[in-house]
Amino acid sequence: MTPLSLSFITCPTLNRRAAWRTLEQIAWTLWITTLVGLTAKVLVHPTSSVTHVYRQATLTWWSGHNIYGPGIHGFLYLPSSAVLFTPFALPPLWFGDILWRLVQVGLFTLALVRLAPLFLPAAPRGALAWALLLALPAATVNIMRSQSEIILAALMMLTAVAMADRRWRHAAAWLALATAIKPLALVMVLVCVVVYPMMRSRLALGLAFVLLLPFFNPDPGYVAGQYLSMVHKLTVAAEPGIGRWNEITMMLDRFGLGISENAATALRFATALATLALCVAATRRLRPIDAALVILAACECYLLDFNPRTELGSYMNLAALLGLFAGARWWYDHRDRAGWIAAGLALALGTHMYGDWIYRPTDVWLKPLVALIVLFILGFIVVRRFPVTMAVPRLRSASRDPVTTIAS
């Protein structure tokens, strides 16, 4: 064996564990400090958050008026989302904003806690620490703005954990709740309907409950009208036009390769089929744990690259997944090239935090490119049947690793 392959053996275990405990303390301190600091900033500058959009929609819902205004902005969710936001809309705006942020970030952190043992059973807290550190630059925008993408990411991760454990009822429940809060979860719903037949009936029941929940409103006619308004609103919002969206068409436009709306739709559809095929292959070629993680990452990458409204902070979930992967690799070998590549990709998703010197030149194209690279690596992993998790130490040479093979 090469010295590189044996480095995790020759490194004293006690020293490594002590160093990683220090890393955990640093990660948690920075994570909590950032949450507190951004919450304080929003208290001083309330317009930094979008909680008021959810709150206004909820209050409007219970007053019996239209929650879907004109234009491409505003409330872009199912009526069930307005219903579920009710506990956060009842207090004053500043207090509801704090509660909403704490619940979202708390659930996101809990999802990472549950996900970490899948990546690194030997030291899940260490993998979690790296995920928190490497996701922090990408996460700051959404944490400050209290975007519902945070809770969407958390529920998708919890779905993947349940799928890895073959707990189909829990997986369907988490995914139905994700759809109720943000309809983008339908991408993962459609994938799961195809690749996991045992989830179909459970998902059908969950989604039926999501659609029927708003009818607890005393005026069923009003609810039906809101569903029609929602369809119109989402149709308009799906074509936001040229802007600072961090998705594939804006990336192409940045390089002078702009495409028509019809071509963009065809590209989304073709990539959706390719992503679905990737997920089907993952369930047939990989271990259940690895397949669930590949499906999670593939759905996330597809949403990031092909949702026409992808924003800066939308990439925090992908950064966290890359951080978990990097931490798992580094536990056995701190010089592991795949780990360093994953860490570099995660940090690239937070360029908006490093200053205009790098943010402006890379705006709208670098983050979608990273998601494309990860999607390509996932395909390579499935084709070559490489394990994603570190359930056992891997003593292969670096040249056989999927990430370093592609990079070389």
User: What digits encode the pLDDT tens for the residues 131-147?
Assistant: 999 999 999 999 999 99
Q: Is residue 406's pLDDT more than 60?
A: no
Angle between helices 316-332 and 124-145 (to 10 degrees): 160
Is the pLDDT at 95 greater than 50? The verdict is yes
Whole-number Å distance between alpha carbons of 1 and 19: 26
pLDDT band with cut points at 50, 70 and 90 for residue 401: low
Residue 37: pLDDT band (50, 70, 90) is very high
The CA–CA distances, whole Å, from 136 to 78, 363, 390 equal 29, 18, 23
CA dihedral (368, 373, 374, 380) positive or negative? positive
**What pLDDT does residue 240 have?**
82
HSE (CB half, 13 Å, CA atoms) of 119? 32
Q: For position 18, what pLDDT does the model report?
A: 82
Percent of the chain clearing pLDDT 90 (strictly above): 80
Contact between residue 107 and residue 143 where contact means Cβ atoms under 8 Å apart = no
Q: Specify the range with the lowest mean pLDDT, choosing from 17-21, 41-45, 121-125, 375-379.
A: 17-21
pLDDT mean over 4-11: 39
Using CB atoms within 10 Å of the CB of residue 302, give its burial: 0 to 12 exposed, 13 to 18 middle, 19+ buried.
buried
The secondary structure of 282-299 as a DSSP string is HHHHS-HHHHHHHHHHHH
> DSSP code of 363?
T
pLDDT (tens digit, 9 = 90+) per residue, 268-303?
999 999 999 999 999 999 999 999 999 999 999 999
Dump pLDDT digits (tens) for 227-243.
Answer: 999 999 999 988 887 77
Average pLDDT over residues 89-102: 96
- In the chain, the N- to C-terminal Cα span, in Å, equals 21
Which pTM was predicted? 0.91
pLDDT band of 393, cuts 50, 70, 90 = very low
Q: Which residue has the tokens 């028509």?
A: 260
Q: Contact at 8 Å (CB) between 342 and 262?
A: no
pLDDT band of 5, cuts 50, 70, 90? very low
Q: How many domains does the chain have?
A: 1
What residues make up the domain containing 67? 3-407
In the chain, the amino acid numbered 350 is G
Q: Which of 8-12, 127-131, 360-364 has the lowest mean pLDDT?
A: 8-12
Closest CA relative to residue 64, chosen from 234, 219, 180, 230: 219
